[in-house]
Structure 1
């Protein structure tokens, strides 16, 4: 394939990615589905055999590209969340009840369920089975846009949407957005646990190190760095005494990109979880002046960058599917993927949200239909590819080809199933909520 043909395909694909969100808004067909299909078609073209699309030949590249894409998405979802979390207010914490339940109950249950399937059904070693569970557990912030909150709301926009009967910050979208923002960092302790087990010699001392450092220490450092970075950048952008340094008034939206890079880099330097730092930075930056239109400008830049990165990954994923990515997939991988998407995640999510459920009439409370929606729409995507790439670049992982094929197949199943069902399901729930509001 000549250089001109590559540029032509990329240009047409980018045009397609620009048009798709508007064309597919009201139909049960998500842009990721179409982009993967385009990748499949490109993969069938006569490409040069010198370019390998096998994951084992591109571990570092896959890890870095997916890492940056997740970072961009985390900044976007953090800026989009309008619900306030006051650290010193118990009532505020309770409005985030679905998020804490999904993180502290549903995700560990999902990891356990997938690990058991990997060990019992697929015959994986316990450490590899645990790694598979940790890789596939997080809800993805990149490909879950169809069921997440939209742009940041200011007072005038919120009032206009209220008059139109719209509510982009309903409890379903909020729960899935905040879960995707936080669980990408909280899956890391279990990835590290699997790597420690693979390294061998795991005893009581190693267990204490894992719990004290990988669970408590790195999470605390990531959150602390992110909150501090968000506060400092917020002060500078919105409240700087020097007019030239007040970027919010200047309208320079690239601060969002600078913030995600700086917070991630700082957290990684001190040993914290960078993903958590980026999300915490975005939340704190959003809180600096919640009703300023500058948040919408920053979110717009991040959203476009995320769309470009997602386009690249989905196209390559589709191309790789036709060039050997799934050659190691067998009935065990198919069973694990289908069980996760159709049984394990929905069941774990339902248990987490339905047991001792918060009153549905209160903020953060969900009725039965909403609980089912949050439990079902646990989209798997780019984050899973990153975690597997991170693991295989840090430790020798047995059954690596099978893991790549199984994880890729799971992502494709999630893209297809959740992409087809998201639009009609959310439209039905929105209509029911509007009807209940009108009746009330």
Structure 2
């Protein structure tokens, strides 16, 4: 059933309005608030969906919601994994082959098994094999959400390039590698072990996976040669050149799907093969990217769709034995245990991960998104409504949607929270350093000396130094902050100040030249004792801007 014209017009209006409003403040949202478009789009979908305004109700469009979700998700993922392959550096799959093998084989297997255990523990009425079917849907990391993590101001400043490339490459590859995990569990449910393993080996691993890799590599290689030929002979215009990768992804999705192989994996491999020599990536660098515009349009659309189709009623459904608290605990367990422990445990054999901090980042940022929606629709097509696994079929939508919602929220607000925490930490550090008094209420100030080095009983402060007096000698590697034990005059009003004494190079007001310890001392003042003071050492090698504020 095709929705009526009025319904389609409402969808167009909402989607267009979202893109316009979001576009007007997108730089502020991304670079200041550090929010991805996914969390904004899901929120808009929820607001205009059946649970709130009810302007977008996919249930009224007919009985093809599952197939619509499948094709929509497939289109968005296919274009995104192609973009991931194109974005990666020259011959990335060869240079980081070992890293990719570790992330795609042992890490994915553990992610699948651990997620299955979590589902089995928290969802009543499903056995472990059925739990593995559910877990296979959200085992792959999502390339769309991963792309929002590895790009932008925050990622460029704080996430190393090697980590960004690894997350992007893994998310692009494992979205196509979810089929072996999904269909191994489905075949084991539907047939004896021997037949299940045999069918899985020749149909899934050989025809679906290996064949798609070969097709993707050949198509990408031929496309690169053809594009170079057309570019060298001035046969292709700028617009067609820039949109070539998107057209290539559509061609591969359609062709590979017709022959029954894995079109998503073929798209990713084709993207890598297409930019194997880095020519296309460098040619399109810092140029108008039509593909990026299409990516944004698709990404916003698919997450608005996810927000609008969220099955809120099934999150608390007695017939399905599901409750909100079970889903919340399941989401916490999956986000903490599904990926983080195994990545931290194996990071030393992953060349692309150099430190345990990078391992923590890679382990935590394994988002669940559109890929889970796609695999849920793939799984549900293999179970009948009234069949022996009807309960598994019924609990699939609420579990998968809740996992997507949890990942969008958690991974969407983690970077803003990290930024707020970093800002708060800096503020506390500045406050601590510039504190005007210690525990006894004494102000840390520098005693004022006369020309002969005698204590005048006065103190320098940031507020009473004139422009001429505000002069300090070059700072050595280690200097001291001093606090007089006695004062000859009443203490000045409390105010913020940091003062510095340079050993053997004390600067005077009238003579800015530092004292030289090798010069003959002034005999007139030989018996004058130096001012009594206690010292607090501060290491000037630390990268701290706070001292500069007072200098």
TM range (shorter): 0.7 to 0.9
Partner of 1:269: 258
Q: Is 1:337 the counterpart of 2:331 in the alignment? A: yes
Give the structure with higher Rg (CA).
Answer: 2
Partner of 1:139: 141
Segments of 5+ residues of structure 2 without an aligned counterpart are 1-5, 423-542, 544-551
Task: State the alpha-carbon separation in 2 of the partners of residues 291 and 51 from structure 1.
Answer: 40
Task: State the alpha-carbon separation in 1 of the partners of residues 58 and 292 from structure 2.
Answer: 30
Partner of 1:12: 17
Segments of 5+ residues of structure 1 without an aligned counterpart are 152-164, 359-363, 430-437
Q: Is 1:372 the counterpart of 2:372 in the alignment? A: no
Q: In 2, are the aligned partners of 1:226 and 1:281 still within 8 Å (CA)?
A: yes
Q: Is 1:419 the counterpart of 2:412 in the alignment? A: yes
Q: Is 1:221 the counterpart of 2:227 in the alignment? A: no
Task: State the alpha-carbon separation in 2 of the partners of residues 167 and 287 from structure 1.
Answer: 27
TM-score, normalization: structure 1?
0.81
Q: In 2, are the aligned partners of 1:128 and 1:398 still within 8 Å (CA)?
A: no
CA gap 1:332/1:115 in 2 versus in 1, 3 angstroms: same
Q: In 1, are the aligned partners of 2:79 and 2:250 still within 8 Å (CA)?
A: no
Partner of 1:73: 80
> Per-residue CA shift, 1:71-129, capped at 9, x if unaligned?
01111111111142375xxxx2xx34433222112111010011122223324133321
Q: CA deviation at 1:298?
A: 9.2
Q: Which has the higher helix share?
A: 1
CA gap 1:4/1:67 in 2 versus in 1, 3 angstroms: closer
Task: State the alpha-carbon separation in 1 of the partners of residues 217 and 261 from structure 2.
Answer: 13
Q: Paired residue for 2:343, among 320, 343, 349?
A: 349
Q: Which has the higher strand share?
A: 2
CA gap 1:427/1:177 in 2 versus in 1, 3 angstroms: farther
TM-score, normalization: structure 2?
0.66
Partner of 1:38: 44
Q: In 2, are the aligned partners of 1:128 and 1:194 still within 8 Å (CA)?
A: yes
Q: How does 1:17-166 map to 2 (within 5 A)?
A: 17-19=22-24, 21-24=26-29, 25-43=31-49, 44-47=51-54, 51-52=58-59, 58-85=65-92, 87=94, 92=95, 95-123=96-124, 124-148=126-150
- Partner SS, residue 326 of structure 2: helix
Q: In 1, are the aligned partners of 2:57 and 2:308 still within 8 Å (CA)?
A: no
Q: Is 1:398 the counterpart of 2:390 in the alignment? A: yes
> Per-residue CA shift, 1:45-82, capped at 9, x if unaligned?
54379751799861111111011111011111111111
> Per-residue CA shift, 1:348-398, capped at 9, x if unaligned?
2222324x454xxxxx24201001000100010000000000111233353
Task: State the alpha-carbon separation in 2 of the partners of residues 223 and 190 from structure 1.
Answer: 17
- Partner SS, residue 328 of structure 2: helix
> Per-residue CA shift, 1:223-276, capped at 9, x if unaligned?
11001101111111013498254x377753222122112222333334431111
Partner of 2:299: 310
RCO comparison, higher one (Cα < 8 Å, 6+): 1
Task: State the alpha-carbon separation in 2 of the partners of residues 114 and 252 from structure 1.
Answer: 42
CA gap 1:416/1:8 in 2 versus in 1, 3 angstroms: same
Q: How many corresponding residue pairs?
A: 403
Task: State the alpha-carbon separation in 1 of the partners of residues 347 and 42 from structure 2.
Answer: 32
CA gap 1:51/1:140 in 2 versus in 1, 3 angstroms: closer
* RMSD across aligned positions (CA): 3.3
CA gap 1:248/1:4 in 2 versus in 1, 3 angstroms: closer
CA gap 1:395/1:17 in 2 versus in 1, 3 angstroms: farther
Partner of 1:285: 274
Q: In 2, are the aligned partners of 1:40 and 1:322 still within 8 Å (CA)?
A: no
Task: State the alpha-carbon separation in 2 of the partners of residues 55 and 348 from structure 1.
Answer: 43
